[in-house]
Amino acid sequence: MPGRLSNRAMPWTRALFAIPVAAAVVFSVPASGQIAQERVDLDAVARIRQEGLERSQIPELARHLTDVIGPRLTGSPGMKAANEWTAATLKSWGLAGVEVEPWGRFGRGWENVSYEGRILTPYSQAMPGQASAWTGSTKGTITAPVVVVEGGADSIAKYGTRLRGALVLLAPPRPLPPEFGESERRTPIDSLFAPVNQRPRAPIGWDTLLVRIQKQQAHGDSLLRAAGVAGVITGSGSAYGTIRGGGDWSATNPDAPIPVPTVIVPQEQYNEMYRNVTSGVPVKVQLNVQNRFLTDDLNAYNTLGDIRGTDKPDEYVMIGAHLDSWHYGNGATDNAAGTVVMMEAMRILKTLNLHPRRTIRIALWSGEEEGIYGSRGWIKKHPDMGPKISAYLNLDNGTGKIRGVWDQSNAKAIPIFEQILWPFHDLGVVAVRHGNTGSTDHVSFDDAGIPGFNFIQDPIEYGLRTHHSSNDVYDHLVLEDLKQAAVVVAATAYEIANRDGMFPRK
């Protein structure tokens, strides 16, 4: 990933906690051509490590959120259950001001009720798959021919009436070469220290971008409906039977037409159907997909809770992760992992009865998958909070342990993070990188001029297997990594909350 590393040499040490020290030690550390001093409370760090590594509740929290509550598509019953459970859990730990707060109008919710698929010709075989979010239902069980639309949805008009009642394939097959090279599961140390170039990140303009995407989705669906297709079959894009997908969230608008049913099947089966049809071999599919749209509450919600500060209670350090997920798995690595890490960090601080000077607030967002809506909506709803937030810390890159943090092009953050994270070098936290990482909730804060940061994590199987896929389940969580992450987050938030001054802005 792009970025520049501040590569000041630091010793790895487990002896740190054997050194007799006072409750706080002042480090004077050269970094990026300047001297910075941070008071790091080593006594608190030692207690946080012991509580988080020896008495963690990560396994229980993760199991309930994934195995019991399950997928958490924004606006779905699963998302509502997750908001209520996280709030109840935070309250049971004694957090203050816990609430499930609406951030604004999201639109209609959606959930899949059932899916049955089978390829009938040229030979009979099961067709495992899932419905793409916010698409419609078939009219019961249908049997329909499969037709390839070359040129995609924009070429539909030239087919005339030939697509009426058909299940269409809109994309060419995707090659799935053997995975000869082993992907890195742990981040090589050299890559954490590799110099890279990156320009400062300009604000993305999320509202404009999302409106454009939704218009494109709505346009494609209108062409399909006009052609009278029975549905769309799309490949997952991933190998070995993995189902991976997203959704047509233009249909969250309750006034929009219901999109034609779209199902995602294993890429291997999609490729086979495409080859047969284009070779003149007829393919017929039996399909029954039933989905439900929900319009009783068009708002969406975040879960919030506080550990109140002592002498600076009206200033805040925020930690957060998105609670919502797609529905293909049960949202374990994306992002139950980040959610339970942030919850556990708050539990650790509350259990140890630590008293930060500033209020530490946890925020568990909804609507992230559809456009980082929950965090952006919260900031828009609370414009008075911006100047009061010292920093926001985010976790949303899977189940891997924390290896460092991006400074989000805020060079003043480097020496602060280097010193706060120094006691965790023995746990693998070694890199403070100058540059940007994007596309998750810290961007909402960064765009609003609030210091917002996302931790660097080991990739494990995130991009390879679990991201937005049917493999995103509890079994692919690395619980020891999440315990490490919770300890690092708890200590980082606590130290930032206890600084004499606010975290420096860009």
pLDDT of residue 34: 53
**pTM of the predicted structure, to 2 decimals:** 0.92
Nearest to 370 by CA among 109, 115, 86, 170: 109
What element of type H or E holds 346? helix 337-351
Query: Which three-class secondary structure state does DSSP give residue 245?
Result: coil
Q: Residue 195: its pLDDT value, please? A: 75
pLDDT of residue 235: 97
Q: Which pLDDT score, from 0 to 100, does residue 22 have? A: 33
The one-character DSSP state at 375 is H
Residue from 172, 192, 145 nearest 428 by CA: 192
pLDDT of residue 36: 61
Residue 141 in tokens: 């069980």
Cβ(317)–Cβ(496) under 8 Å?
yes
Residue 231 has phi, psi (to 5 degrees) of 170, 175
User: How distant, in Å, are the alpha carbons of 43, 46, 107, 426, 490 from that of 18?
Assistant: 11, 10, 55, 13, 21
Taking only the tens place, the pLDDT of each residue in 430-480 is 999 999 988 899 999 999 999 999 999 999 998 889 999 999 999 999 999
Report residue 313: phi and psi, to 5°.
Answer: -70, -20
352 class by beta-carbon count within 10 Å (0-12 exposed, 13-18 middle, 19+ buried) = middle
Tens-binned pLDDT, residue by residue, of the chain (506 aa): 333 233 333 333 333 333 333 344 444 344 445 556 899 999 999 999 999 999 999 999 999 999 999 999 999 999 999 999 999 999 999 999 999 999 999 999 999 999 999 999 999 999 999 999 999 999 999 999 999 999 888 899 899 899 999 999 999 999 998 877 777 889 888 888 787 667 766 777 878 888 888 899 989 999 999 999 999 999 999 999 999 999 998 999 999 999 999 999 999 999 999 999 999 999 999 999 999 999 999 999 999 999 999 999 999 999 999 999 999 999 999 999 999 999 999 999 999 999 999 999 999 999 999 999 999 999 999 999 999 999 999 999 999 999 999 999 999 999 999 999 999 999 999 999 999 988 899 999 999 999 999 999 999 998 889 999 999 999 999 999 999 999 999 999 999 999 999 999 98
Can you tell me the distance from the alpha carbon of 62 to that of 339, in angstroms, rounded to the nearest whole number? 9
CA 40 to the chain's CA centroid: 30
pLDDT recorded at residue 27: 41
Query: Which is it for the CA torsion 234, 235, 241, 243, positive or negative?
Result: negative
Among 497, 474, 505, residue whose Cα is nearest residue 340 = 474
